Amino acid sequence: MSTSLDVIIKRMAMIFLVVGVLFGVILIFSYDIIKIDWPSFMEIQPSYKQMEDPLPPPERSIPIEGPISIPGMGAPENPTTADEASVTRGAELFAIHCQMCHGPTGEGNGPVAPFLVNFKPANLTSAVVQSKSDGSFFLTISNGVDGKMPALNENLTVPERWDVVNFLRTLKASE
Ligand code: HEC
């Protein structure tokens, strides 16, 4: 009786030892004492930071939201008629996405403008800006101005951007 108890205790001790060592080895890896670069780590991914250029569309992809710029194909044509509905929508979107920098009248005097030290928001009523094409406005809204104005392609859908463009044209009058 006593001998078989001895054997059982020894076996149990052995099992605990083996399991304990295994557990210890696993902890070494899970606490990164020995670091293995598992490919599932969050930092290894094609993410990009705020205000960074948007990722280019995958090769051979076709836009499904209507005529949008295709890199290297120049400025797109405005497909949206500048009727009252479009301009009204554009005005609302301008108040949400642009006014803080460009100001309610588009003259570059929004509440954020004083804090932009290096580059003041463009005066959208000026002849210089108004002489640009609708497609150029569209690209500016979509891609921003490098280091000066953020790309707003994630804030505004393609049709919304054209509504804003149509609204920008009405700013000419206040010049
Ligand atoms: C964070 C502030 C900011 C916001 C928001 C912003 N802009 Fe701008 N925008 C600027 C600045 C700064 C410039 C001037 C860049 C320069 O000096 O070339 C500019 C320039 C422009 C220009 C002139 C580009 C050119 O080719 O000369 C247009 C058009 C324009 N913005 C339209 C818009 C519209 C439309 C929106 C909203 C959908 C918008 N911006 C939102 C800061 C802003």
pLDDT digits (tens, 9 = 90+) for 87-135: 999 999 999 999 999 999 999 989 999 998 888 999 999 999 999 999 9
CB atoms within 10 A of CB 87: 19
Task: Kindly report whether the global pTM for this prediction surpasses the value 0.85.
Answer: no
Which region among 71-75, 82-86, 116-120 has the lowest average model confidence (pLDDT)? Answer: 71-75
pLDDT of residue 175: 45
Distance from Cα 83 to the centre of ligand 1, integer Å:
24
Q: Report the atom number in ligand 1 closest to the C-alpha of 150.
A: 1
CB–CB of 53/143 below 8 Å? yes
- The closest residue, in CA terms, to atom 36 on ligand 1 is 98
Q: Report the atom number in ligand 1 closest to the C-alpha of 161.
A: 38
Rounded-to-integer distance, Cα 35 and Cα 45, Å: 18
* SS3 at position 5: helix
Residue linked to tokens 């809204």: 141
* Whole-number percent of the chain with pLDDT over 70: 86
Distance from Cα 45 to the centre of ligand 1, integer Å:
30
Among 115, 145, 156, residue to substitute to test ligand 1 (most atoms within 8 Å of Cβ): 145
pLDDT of residue 61: 79
CB–CB of 75/135 below 8 Å? yes
Class in CATH terms, 84-174: mainly alpha
For residues 64, 68, 71 and 74, what is the CA-based torsion angle, rounded to 10 degrees?
150
Q: Give the start-to-end residue ranges of the domains of the chain.
A: 1-45, 84-174
Residue linked to tokens 């295994």: 22
Pocket of ligand 1 (CB under 6 A): 97-98, 100-102, 112, 116, 119, 121-122, 124, 129, 132, 137, 140-141, 145, 148-150, 152, 164, 168
pLDDT of residue 21: 96
Kindly report, residue by residue over 2-41, the tens digit of the pLDDT: 678 999 999 999 999 999 999 999 999 888 888 877 766 6
Among 51, 98, 171, residue to substitute to test ligand 1 (most atoms within 8 Å of Cβ): 98
